[in-house]
Amino acid sequence: MTDFPHYERYSMLIEWSDEDNVYIVTVRELPGCRTHGATYEEAVQQGQDVIDSWIEANIAWGHPIPQPRLFDHEESSRAWNDAPAEEAETRAPVAAAGS
């Protein structure tokens, strides 16, 4: 794996594709960084591999490497509280750390 600091902190969006019959992995912080896997576990592994490859290639090409996007508690709370009532009813409560 690359020596780039915090490479493991990039977020992966993993979505099922009925059309392709695979899980699609998108790393939003890294333009064009996308892969897939036949199983969820394979998609996660492929995602980790593609992040590493993307960063190594862009370092070699002299391109800047975007910082990972960090979780924003305020933004998450706003999105949670602003969700339509019918959506809010379907969400399970999230236990606080240490609960």
Taking a C-beta distance cutoff of 8 angstroms, is the pair 46, 25 a contact? yes
**Structural domains of the chain, with CATH:** 7-72 (3.30.160.250)
Predicted structure pTM score: 0.70
pLDDT per residue as tens digits for the range 39-96:
999 999 999 999 999 999 999 999 999 999 888 878 767 766 776 666 555 555 555 5
Which region, left, alpha or beta, applies to residue 16 given φ > 0 means left and ψ of -120 to 50 means alpha? Answer: beta
